[in-house]
Amino acid sequence: MAEEQSQDKEKFRKITADIDIPPHPKILTSFLEESNKAEPDLKAIGNLLATDVAIAAGILKTINSPFFGLRQNVASIQQAVMLLGLTNVSNLVYSMALKKAMGGGSTAFLEQFWNRCNTIALLSARIGKMVSHVAPDEIYALALMCDCAVPLLSKRYDEYEKFYQTSKDDNQNHMPIGEEDQFMITHPGFGSHIGETWKFPSSICEGIAHHHDVNLEELYEFGDLITLVAIYNFAVAVYNKYKKREAHFEWLKLKAQFMVVLKITENDVLDMEDVLIDLLIQD
């Protein structure tokens, strides 16, 4: 088993050797240095984040969204740090920094890609508040980053952008199998590697790695991971319904199991879909 794992890692290393992962931006390095202190200075962290307009604005826009359901509007990044606490803000800082490093919406494809990711992430945050104890920032960060490998894979492989566009909503075929067959790499596997390289929290890395899994039994050993995966797939299903598309492969195959994990009924699903789609229409 150890030899097989070593061979798999070597194969992965060779495949990804010529795919450049963006380095930590300076602000994230400074953020980690301050937040890892024995007694982090929240005021200093808020002032640090305020120096990066894009990251600060992204965090404020996200947490003030009706999908997060905060009781008060947050006016500044300093206030956000004090209100949410370091752990919760960290998830948002990681996801905003990586999105910025990946190029944001610098092309039509990336703009459409990140809009989809952000909408699914907001839906995930709201679903998390509706059905479980999962913090909205944690499931938001995971959902936003689930497909974080896609921009890099689309740069590396000329055919990948077209593959992604046709495969993400394919309800007949399991996307990672198609990726493995055509490119010898999957976006969940490479995305998890990106998260590890950036030192994302382990729960985010595991969630990225397993968000397309169809064997849920294996996820129970990871604690809350199965709940995060179920919420994410529910959010994708709501997004597709809002866009008047067919349900995706994992939802069609595993919907009943996801409902058991989230402790909801078919009527609950229908009611929640109505609420969430109304929020999307109003947003």
Q: Is residue 4 in some structural domain?
A: no
- 150 with 74, same domain: the answer is no
DSSP state of 108: H
Q: How far is CA 148 from CA 13, 94, 124, in A?
A: 18, 12, 16
- Which among 281, 278, 279 is positioned nearest to 66, based on CA atoms? 279
Q: Is residue 179 in some structural domain?
A: yes
- 134 with 90, same domain: the answer is no
| Mean pLDDT (the chain, rounded) | 89
Q: Is residue 71 in some structural domain?
A: yes
Q: Is residue 276 in some structural domain?
A: yes
Contact 195, 205 (CB under 8 A): yes
Number of H helices, E strands in the chain: 16, 0
The enclosing H or E element of 160 equals: helix 160-167
The pLDDT, as a whole number, for residue 74 is 93
The pLDDT, as a whole number, for residue 222 is 65
Q: Is residue 46 in some structural domain?
A: yes
- 142 with 225, same domain: the answer is yes
> Is the confidence at residue 275, as pLDDT, over 90?
yes
Domains of the chain: total: 2
- 49 with 135, same domain: the answer is no
User: What would the pLDDT profile of 20-61 be if each residue is shown by its tens digit?
Assistant: 899 888 999 999 999 999 999 999 999 999 999 999 999 999
> Is the confidence at residue 221, as pLDDT, over 60?
yes
- 84 with 115, same domain: the answer is no
Single residue among 69, 101, 133 that ends a domain in this structure: 101
Mean pLDDT of 268-274: 97
CA–CA gap between residue 126 and residue 156 (Å, rounded)? 34
Single residue among 71, 101, 131 that ends a domain in this structure: 101
- The more confidently predicted of residues 12 and 205 is 205
The pLDDT, as a whole number, for residue 3 is 45
Single residue among 101, 117, 136 that ends a domain in this structure: 101
Q: Is residue 58 in some structural domain?
A: yes
The pLDDT, as a whole number, for residue 2 is 44
* Residue 38 dihedral angles phi and psi, to the nearest 5°: -55, -40
Contact 172, 249 (CB under 8 A): yes
The pLDDT, as a whole number, for residue 219 is 75
Q: Which domain holds residue 211?
A: 107-283
Mean pLDDT of 265-280: 97
CB burial class (10 A; 0-12, 13-18, 19+) of residue 81?
buried
Q: Is residue 231 in some structural domain?
A: yes
pTM over 0.75: yes
The pLDDT, as a whole number, for residue 103 is 76
- 226 with 95, same domain: the answer is no
- Which among 223, 231, 236, 202 is positioned nearest to 94, based on CA atoms? 202
Q: Is residue 5 in some structural domain?
A: no
